[in-house]
């Protein structure tokens, strides 16, 4: 098969491994303990941001030491592309958010347009507070003003990253590490 059909096969040999599975699991365990402390026994709504967030959200939920109510949301700016566009809602949460603490669990905080839209949706639905937990946060200065993650697993450089939930043209989400392409490549 050609690299056009499987672009990951061409990208992976050029990529740098940034964070291995053990590092990501340790970061997730630390975040779970931090979230447990922040919740102080409250039963929060745990919203997984699909699709990339599911690889991180499941072990994070298991690391949180208090009861949670689960749902998911699917909104994207990327689809299988590498450049973002307008938010596309594929599924909104079904559980009631009014008066509740909501944990948004996502794979990455990059510029933050998707997470900002999700946060704003939760607030508009009456959430008492929204906590954002991301596996990784990209280091740069292009973030949506006023948006920040409450819990961050690892930091990644301002390069195209993939693996452990993050995709490369719809591929590589199930890689057990996070990789980065060389600067300027997508």
Domain ranges of the chain: 20-78+87-180
CA 12 to each of CA 46, 138, 161, 172, 181: distance values in angstroms, whole numbers, following the listed order: 32, 19, 11, 9, 8
Is the per-residue pLDDT at 78 higher than 70? Answer: no
The token pair at 58 is 């499941």
CB-based contact 158:141 (threshold 8 Å): no
CB atoms within 10 A of CB 39: 18
Question: Given CA atoms 15, 79, 149, 164 in this order, what sign does their dihedral have?
Answer: negative
Q: If pLDDT is split at 50, 70 and 90, which confidence band does 83 have? A: low
50-61 b/e with 16+ CB inside 10 Å = b?
Answer: bbbbbbbbeebb
What pLDDT is recorded for position 75? 87
Q: Does the pLDDT at position 133 exceed 50?
A: yes
d(CA 67, CA 38): 13
Candidates 106, 107, 110, 167; catalytic one: 110
Half-sphere exposure of 140 (CA within 13 A, CB side): 15
Is 110 one of the catalytic residues? yes
Angle at 165 between CA 162 and CA 170, to 5 degrees: 65
Q: What one-character DSSP code corresponds to residue 135?
A: E
Q: Does residue 80 register a pLDDT over 60?
A: no
Give me the helices (H) in 64-112, please.
none
The fold of the 20-78+87-180 domain, in CATH, is Rossmann fold (3.40.50)
pLDDT tens digits, 20-73: 999 999 999 999 999 999 999 999 999 999 988 999 999 999 999 999 999 999
Task: Give the separation between CA 177 and CA 166, rounded to whole angstroms.
Answer: 10
Residue 100 to residue 122: CA distance in whole angstroms: 10
């Amino acid at each position: 098969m050609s690299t056009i059909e499987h672009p990951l096969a061409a990208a992976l040999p050029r990529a740098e491994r940034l964070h291995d599975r053990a590092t990501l699991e340790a970061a997730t365990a630390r975040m779970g303990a931090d979230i447990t402390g922040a919740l102080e026994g409250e039963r929060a709504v745990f919203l997984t941001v699909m699709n990339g967030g599911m690889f991180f959200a499941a072990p994070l939920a298991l690391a949180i030491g208090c009861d949670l109510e689960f749902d998911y949301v699917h909104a994207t700016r990327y689809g299988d592309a590498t450049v973002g566009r307008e938010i596309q809602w594929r599924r909104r949460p079904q559980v009631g958010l009014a008066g509740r603490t909501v944990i948004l669990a996502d794979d990455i905080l990059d510029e933050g347009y998707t997470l900002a839209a999700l946060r704003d949706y939760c607030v508009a639905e009456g959430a008492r507070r929204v906590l954002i937990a991301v596996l990784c946060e990209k280091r740069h200065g292009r973030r949506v003003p006023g948006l920040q993650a409450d819990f961050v697993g690892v930091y990644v450089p301002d390069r195209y990253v993939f693996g452990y939930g993050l995709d490369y043209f719809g591929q590589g989400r199930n890689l057990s590490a996070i990789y980065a392409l060389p600067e300027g490549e997508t």
